Structure 1
Amino acid sequence: MLPNTDVWSMNTTRRTLLSSCGIGTVALLTGCLGEGNGDANGGDETDDETEGDSDTSPTETGGPELSIVSTDELPDAPVRPAIEVTQKTATESQPPGLKATVTNESDRTLTLGEGRAIVFAYRNDTANNLMLLPAGSDYPVEAGCWRLTEGIAITEEYRMVTLEPGESASQVLELYGAPDTDACLPTGTFRFESPYSVRDESGEEETASFTWGFDISLE
């Protein structure tokens, strides 16, 4: 099996449809936070009790604690998505964190889309209380607090990621509160979903599509 490959270091092909939030791979723009979900909500609706059943948490770092409550069943497709916690609680230097991975379990080369969505980069939870952003970049946050002070604008380019048999694409993610939340990080149970498109090596023919997601807890 080939080693994991960070999704941003892989070759991609792009069909660029720039959104009204501005040109560039990632730009900062107030009011565009909700665009991170794309069409992920095309799946089944989630009960209100699991979507941001939130209380407020202390404004200082150190809490609440992040855990994964549940994940969806594996799809009937030749790829396997997965999610894991990498940072349980916020510190002065970093927010809570997750790592998303998708693996090609078939014996042929596959092309997956959309390249950011398949590793939950720039995804909001279904209630728009939280956002997952790629680790290692500076984002506009309040001092001593992991709540965004303004929205993150995302272009609508469609990225494709090619995976050889046994190869994985992964992304380390950081968890941020939305600008309009009452606390640095709201507490409760939150759901994230993302769409997957599985295509042949050329990317021309779609062989499978599905929505996969997971629930997290901040307590």
Structure 2
Amino acid sequence: MNRRDFSARAAGTGLALGFGLVGQAAHAQGGPLVEGKDYVKLQTAAPVASGGKVDVVEFFWYGCPHCNAFEPSLDAWAKKLPADVNFRRVPVSFSAMHETHAKIFYALESLGQVEALHRKVFAALHVQRKRLDKEADIVEFMTQNGVDAAKFTEAYKSFGVATKVRQGKALSEAYKIDGVPAIGVAGRWFTAPSLAGSPERALAVSDALIQMARKPA
């Protein structure tokens, strides 16, 4: 799904298919990587986080059902990454609704609440069917989950969060991301369940790309 269709569906329904995790022709879980099939190589390198580690980025949207389905496997995988890998999540901002959800993530990040509430935001949208597209509803959800309303509101409206949203948008554009979930590696490649054929294969491809990133360019 291209970015225009992705945004139009988001505006019309509050959800988007993004890179589908189901209904795709599955690749074998093993075998050598095939550029253009398992992953895409960027013609121009995207920015990476400083620190000398292999930079790995998950691009996601809270409103995407496939990101929600991918999250448990991704989270378990991320927690087992070696010490020389820097993993981070970056919410996409394809539309105003995407930006609203991106602000939720970065506000939680600034308050140190991502670990506690990241999965709960997904559950609120996809299990409880809450609408978290208005500030009042978002703040109510946060207070129901133990977050101070004033502190969250201040973070949500802060210059720092707005800056993070702009930086995240710029990074997704540098990676040429048109749908989610997707995983960028070392500013040089990205993969996704739709490319690799399944969530499991996408994570295996990401492991292989991390190995490639460790080799001298």
TM-score (norm 2): 0.23
Q: Comparing both structures, which one devotes a greater share of its residues to helix?
A: 2
TM-score (norm 1): 0.23
Q: Comparing both structures, which one devotes a greater share of its residues to strand?
A: 1
